Structure 1
Amino acid sequence: MNLAVKTTSQTTTPKLTYDVLIENQQDGTVKAILLDLPDCQGLGNTDTEAIEKLSQNLQTWLETVKIVTLEIEAPKAENPWMKFAGIFKDDPQFDEMLAYIEADRRELDAQMEEYYRQLDAENKTK
């Protein structure tokens, strides 16, 4: 497994957006919880105050951490279906089986078309 960590030294910091859960507490206060980081919270008397405290807590926390992108290369594995590819190439009944499948599929498609036609007709009469 190959791992690569991308770090960038940007002169401008990109803006980050987060989803925040606002939760009214039983004591009348409001808790703002960062959904991506549930340990990062702010408590206040109003939604605005709780979000401001959450924002301050997040700013303080972000000053001490780094954000990096971790790329993990997927393991190269053979497709498990490949071992079945071509196993029927010499089967004399293969063409007959395909014809049966195609006929069955056409019949099912016709049944579904009729069902939807009837459903559409019922909806028009309502």
Structure 2
Amino acid sequence: MNLAVKSTPIITTPKLGYDVLIENQQDGTFKAILLGLPDCEGLGNTETEAIEKLSLNLQTRLETAKIVTLEIEAPKAENPWMKFAGMFKDDPQFDEMLAYIEADRRELDAQVEEYYQQLDAENKTK
């Protein structure tokens, strides 16, 4: 498995968007929790105050940390049908079976064609 960590030097500070869960507490206060980082939260008397405290907590946390993108190479999986490829190559009845399938297919195609011709004829008489 190949792992690569991309770390791009930040020249300008990009704006990051975070989803926040705001919960009403039993004591009438509010708790703002950063989704994905449940230990990063802010408490306040109003939703706005809780969000502001969460924002300060997150900014403090990000001053000593960084966000990187981790790329993982997907494992190479064999196609499950490949184990059946060529399994009939030495079967003496294989050509006979193919001929049977072809004959059956021609018969079905003729039946379908006949059905559509009958429909066409019925529609022309209406």
Unmatched segments (≥5 aa) in structure 2: 113-126
**What does the per-residue CA deviation read over 1:26-61, in whole Å, with 9 as the maximum and x for residues that have no partner?**
001000011121110000001100000000000000
Indicate the residue corresponding to 1:62 in structure 2.
62
Amino acid at match of 1:53: K
Greater CA deviation, 74-83 or 53-62?
Answer: 74-83
Higher gyration radius (CA): 2
Counterpart CA distance in 2 for 1:13 and 1:84 is: 55
Unmatched segments (≥5 aa) in structure 1: 107-126
Is 1:19 the counterpart of 2:19 in the alignment? yes
How many residues are paired up?
102
Q: RMSD in angstroms over aligned alpha carbons? A: 2.5
Is 1:96 the counterpart of 2:101 in the alignment? yes
Displacement, 1:74? 1.6
Under a length normalisation based on structure 1, what TM-score does the superposition of the two structures give? 0.69
SS at match of 1:31: strand
CA contact (8 A) 1:33 1:40 kept: yes
Greater CA deviation, 68-77 or 20-29?
Answer: 68-77
SS at match of 1:40: strand
Counterpart CA distance in 1 for 2:88 and 2:21 is: 57
SS at match of 2:8: coil
Under a length normalisation based on structure 2, what TM-score does the superposition of the two structures give? 0.69
